[in-house]
Amino acid sequence: MPQVRYQMVIPQWLKDAAEREAKKKGIPLAEYIKDLIKRDIEQQNRPTSPT
């Protein structure tokens, strides 16, 4: 499958926060963002329990 690249415009404060967290974890910013998106998609696909 070909790799897809997206251009995203995000607020500077959000980029700064993501850069700080990526630096804390010792990983590149792009990898940190990719992991965040992957986790978000997994949470959205998780079935919810009926109440």
pLDDT for residue 43: 87
pLDDT for residue 8: 74
* Cα 32 to Cα 24: distance, rounded to the nearest angstrom: 11
Nearest residue to 22 (alpha-carbon basis) of 10, 38, 4, 34: 34
pLDDT for residue 1: 58
* pLDDT per residue of the chain (51 residues) written in tens, 0 to 9: 577 777 778 899 988 999 999 999 999 998 998 999 899 988 888 777 666
Angle at 16 between CA 14 and CA 22, to 5 degrees: 100
pLDDT for residue 5: 72
DSSP assignment of 22-48, as one string?
HHHHTS-HHHHHHHHHHHHHHHHHSPP
* pTM of the entire predicted model: 0.64
